[in-house]
Structure 1
Amino acid sequence: MHALTIANMLISVPQQDLYLTNMKINKLVYFAQVECLRTHGHKLFDEPIQAWEYGPVEPSVYTAFRKYGSDRITAPAMSEDHDQANSLADLQEAKDVVQRVVDLYGPLAAFELMDYSHRNGSAWKAVYQPHKNNEITEKAILSSHDGIDHPDLRRTLAGGVRAVNERFPNALKLLKDS
């Protein structure tokens, strides 16, 4: 499986609230790798993930979606070598991991994912050096808190909107229509 396949799966998730930018999709691809390592004991894809200034980045995913800049990604990217050799079991496992990542990390905004990936105990924090793009290895991931703790969605922008919507059900509708 390729990292770009995982990115394309994220884009294809039927959830209209998943606003994906290049920064966000790279973080979600990283956390998909983490979740697969933690739950299944193996990597989801073999391409390296690097510690860039703004968090974990998978270079082929970054390159594929670079044209979007900080705008919303609207379509999957074409892969030069298609993942035709994957078994149905592998594809289902990947879909399950992607759905878990969407549930756990999808509500976070790109800047919140960046902050979360920079927290103490993260693999990024352990390997990052300015201007080096060091690889975040399997060992670094398994030695970190990544995939063990998960973000508290109540303390996010999406969590705040959800809380307002629960407490004042019509407030956001009134704002939308004003």
Structure 2
Amino acid sequence: MKLGKQNIFSIAKYITKKYNINSSIKLQKLMYFSYIYFYKKTGLLLFDEKFEAWVYGPVLREIYYHTRDYGLFFNYFPSSEIKFRDNKIVEIKTSKKIIPDLKNETVCKLIDEALIDYSKLSAMLLVAEAHKSEYWIKARNGLDISLPSDRDIIIN
């Protein structure tokens, strides 16, 4: 079974479309539970990026900024290239980088297995479930529930 690490934006795109996600909080938690399930089933990490132990549960910072700036739209990244000459902007090029679809059937199957029950829960119920996760609890150790944190959640 060749799995390889996946692109987090492709996974976000897959989950958002398949489960009709309309909340960035729900997306973040579904990605977290998918990540844990994948690790427990395969012994492999689904992707390299780390979840952080935020107040409302695990968050992938890259996904947070994408959804904050562009919403739950995962077809492409808007990007800009700025050229300078003598400390002055001389050219700005904008483009769109396509976010590839998640094509690995085994990975999709494992994500679907992980989300069979979680996908039916509301965002806030998913937050409550994430707060029960041993990995989130360990990362938040010593912090009040309301204190912000950028501590990485270590899953192993």
2 CA distance for matches of 1:68 and 1:42? 30
Aligned counterpart in structure 1 of residue 136 of structure 2, from 121, 124, 128: 124
Q: 1:67–1:82: structure 2 CA closer, same or farther, 3 Å change rule?
A: closer
Q: Could you report, residue by residue, the CA deviation over 1:124-158 in whole angstroms, capped at 9, with x for unpaired residues?
A: 1111133331101123xxxxxxxxxxxxxxxxxxx
Aligned-pair Cα RMSD in Å: 2.4
Q: Specify the alignment match of 1:174 in structure 2.
A: none
* Contact 2:35 2:46 (C-alpha < 8 Å) held by counterparts: yes
Secondary structure of the equivalent of 1:138? coil
Q: 1:54–1:77: structure 2 CA closer, same or farther, 3 Å change rule?
A: farther
Secondary structure of the equivalent of 1:137? coil
Aligned counterpart in structure 1 of residue 28 of structure 2, from 26, 29, 34: 26
Superposed, 1:8-27 pairs within 5 Å as: 8-13=13-18, 15=19, 18-27=20-29
* Contact 1:65 1:77 (C-alpha < 8 Å) held by counterparts: no
* Contact 1:28 1:105 (C-alpha < 8 Å) held by counterparts: yes
Q: Specify the alignment match of 1:36 in structure 2.
A: 38
Q: 1:135–1:40: structure 2 CA closer, same or farther, 3 Å change rule?
A: same
Q: Specify the alignment match of 1:2 in structure 2.
A: 7
Q: Specify the alignment match of 2:81 in structure 1.
A: none
Q: Specify the alignment match of 1:146 in structure 2.
A: none
* Contact 1:64 1:77 (C-alpha < 8 Å) held by counterparts: no
Q: Specify the alignment match of 1:104 in structure 2.
A: 117
Amino acid in the other structure paired with 1:126? K
Superposed, 1:77-156 pairs within 5 Å as: 77-79=75-77, 80=97, 91-119=104-132, 122-128=134-140, 129=143, 130-139=147-156
Secondary structure of the equivalent of 2:45? coil
Q: Which has the higher contact order (CA 8 A, sep 6+)?
A: 2
More strand by share: 2
TM-score normalised according to structure 1 size: 0.63
> Runs of 5+ in structure 2 lacking a partner?
1-5, 78-96
1 CA distance for matches of 2:131 and 2:75? 27
2 CA distance for matches of 1:110 and 1:124? 17
Q: How many residues in Structure 1 have an aligned counterpart in Structure 2? A: 127
1 CA distance for matches of 2:139 and 2:45? 19
* Contact 1:8 1:76 (C-alpha < 8 Å) held by counterparts: yes
